[in-house]
A = this chain, B = another copy of it.
Amino acid sequence: MNLFFAHFENNQAILDEKETHHLQKVLRLGKNDKVLVTDGKGKMFEGHVLEITKKQSLISLGKEREIQNNFPELSVAFAPTKSNERSEILIEKIVELGVRNIFPITSFHSERRKINVERWQKIADAATKQSLKAHRCQLHDLQDFKNFLSLKKNLENKFIAHCNSAIPTSLLKNVLSPGEDSLILIGPEGDFSQDEIHTAIDLGYKSISFGNQRFRTETAGIYFASVYNFLNTFRA
């Protein structure tokens, strides 16, 4: 069954023009067909198509799907890769793995300083729907690394991953606490600068390494999101 983003009103789900186009023109669905709808905030229902106009569709609200709403939130901040395609792979994969916020950042060694956030949001939305998730992942605007750092000040589980062997790191397994909202910073191809890493540490970010391994930017993000997903899916 296909999943659509909707807003819920008067015990029905309403699909906007874009979602209606997808339902009718791309997937060739019509009246009475069964679908899934989500508000993107943790609720999902089965339903069927009641009515389609050019501007919107109405969907009945049937059985509610059970969603694991106590899953903690992982946010990933990353320096977009030189190859735009690699950033897009990262986005698609970490959304499938349940990441809820993605913050593109520019870092001292960044080779890419322009991105298309709208396109990336579309990739994220497609991955959310394809993997039948009830939470929409938010793509944020590109911002400077140091401006970004002050965000989420009070979050306890903030990590900066890097390969600078001159700076002490903790082992991932010793710092990842299942059940806790977390934020991970992933650097550009040339890594974060020493100054950037120290600034993050001063602001409470934990310096981590993935062991003696060299990962590409997108692989580091997917790896962290996989491990976070594993530890939280199978906790307790």
Residues of A within 8 A of B (CB): 68, 89, 93, 96-98, 130-132, 171-173, 210-216, 219, 222-223, 226-227, 229-230, 233-234
Contact = CB atoms under 8 A, between A and B. Distances in A.
Contact of A96 (B96, B130, B219): B219
30 contacts: A68-B212, A89-B89, A93-B219, A96-B215, A96-B216, A96-B219, A97-B219, A97-B223, A98-B213, A130-B214, A130-B216, A131-B215, A131-B216, A171-B234, A172-B230, A172-B234, A173-B230, A173-B234, A210-B233, A211-B234, A213-B229, A222-B222, A222-B226, A223-B229, A223-B230, A226-B226, A226-B227, A227-B227, A227-B230, A230-B230
A185 to B, nearest CB: 18
A131 B212 CA distance: 11
Given A68-B212, A213-B229, A213-B233, 7 more contacts: A89-B89, A130-B216, A131-B214, A171-B234, A172-B234, A226-B226, A226-B227
Nearest to A132: B214
A40 to B, nearest CB: 17
Contacts of A212: 68
B223 A211 contact: no
A192 B219 CA distance: 27
Contacts of A93: 219, 222
B216 A233 contact: no
Q: What are the 6 closest A-B residue pairs judged by CB atoms, nearest first?
A: A226-B226, A173-B234, A211-B233, A227-B230, A223-B226, A96-B219
Contacts of A234: 171-173, 211
Nearest to A223: B226
A65 to B, nearest CB: 10
Contacts of A230: 172-173, 223, 226-227, 230
Contacts of A215: 96, 131
Nearest to A130: B216
A60 to B, nearest CB: 23
